[in-house]
Homo-oligomer: A and B are copies of this chain.
Amino acid sequence: MKKVSASTIERLSMYLHLLREMAADGVTKISSEELAAKCGTSAAQVRKDLSFFGTFGKRGLGYSVDELIKALRGILGLERRWRVALVGAGKIGAALLAYQDFARQGFDIVAVFDVDPKKIGKEWHDLTIQSDDQMELALRAGIDIAIVAVPAEAAQAVVKRITGAGVRAILNFAPTKLNVPDTVAVKTVNMAMELEGLSYALVNDTRGPRTVNTRPAASAGMRDSNG
């Protein structure tokens, strides 16, 4: 398990979601070819992605859906539940809390912080909004992942406090580049940037087979292929 690309991890995540759907439909086995078709990637890619972590299939037979789900959950660290804190009790935070899929997948939002005195202390989606004064203390008390949903101007300062409190994973919704220590993992969701990518695709429409990926290199085939 040396160096596995971010693209591979994204695809594993995608495989897992599809396998779960298939399991719910009663499917018990699948080939790399079938899984690839559903993901918009290639059979060789599926097998290569899995091969970084072990051997999960049977030659001539394919993969057991249940076993592969179990393996992927192990690889992605989803056999435990993660404690998540939401920083910023705005519209994006509300959307996230309403998006109950999170809890189902193993991510529990257990704390919410805001700087607005009018919000602090209020009940909000089954949680009490806490003052950001208490943030460091609460984060140290067992938060694994922080979701940053504050205005861009405030994001870097908030992130510094979050990493200072020992949190090593951040999901960032602020449209800004964050500087964090090497030991901290950051993923940014930037909707304006995605729209600009669509704008580019529209003005450069070649009207032929093409792929507009949301990601760089490994990007291809990850998010979606529109080919």
The tally of residues in A whose CB lies under 8 Å from a CB in B reads 91
- A165 at interface, CB cutoff 8 A: no
**Given A78-B196, A195-B102, A199-B106, A6:B214 Cβ within 8 A:** yes
- Contact check, A226 vs B180: say whether CB atoms are below 8 A apart: yes
Interface 1/0s, chain A 201-215, versus B by CB < 8 A?
Answer: 111110111111111
The answer for the CA separation of A88 and B180 in the assembled complex, in Å, is 35
CB of A41, distance to nearest CB on chain B (Å) = 10
* In the bound complex, CA of A104 to CA of B196 (Å): 12
- Provide the residues of chain B in CB contact with A9, threshold 8 Å: 196-197, 200
Closest to A107 in B: B195
Distance, CA A166 to CA B40, complexed state (A): 23
Residues of B within 8 A of A186 (CB): 212, 223-224, 226
A94 to chain B minimum Cβ distance, whole angstroms, is 6
Is B213 within 8 A of A6, CB to CB? yes
Q: Is the CB of B216 within 8 A of A6?
A: yes
- Supposing A193-B14, A224-B187 touch, asked if A217 and B77 sit within 8 A by C-beta, the answer is no
Interface pair A183/B205, CB less than 8 Å apart? yes
How many copies, total?
2
A212: chain B residues at CB < 8 Å are: 6, 185-187
Give which listed residue, B168, B182, B196, B216, contacts A76 with CB less than 8 A. Answer: B196
A217–B214 contact, CB under 8 A? no
Name the contact of A188 in the complex, choosing from B39, B211, B214 (C-beta under 8 A).
Answer: B214
Q: Is A46 engaged at the interface, CB distance under 8 Å to the other chain? A: no
Pairs of residues from A and B, 8 with the lowest C-beta to C-beta distance, nearest first:
A217-B217, A216-B218, A215-B215, A7-B216, A77-B203, A185-B201, A216-B219, A185-B212
5 A-B pairs besides A94-B95, A216-B217 with CB distance below 8 A are A169-B199, A170-B198, A171-B195, A185-B197, A188-B214
Q: List 15 A-B contacts (CB under 8 A).
A: A5-B216, A5-B217, A6-B219, A16-B196, A17-B192, A96-B191, A101-B192, A106-B199, A169-B202, A177-B224, A178-B226, A183-B205, A183-B207, A183-B210, A218-B219
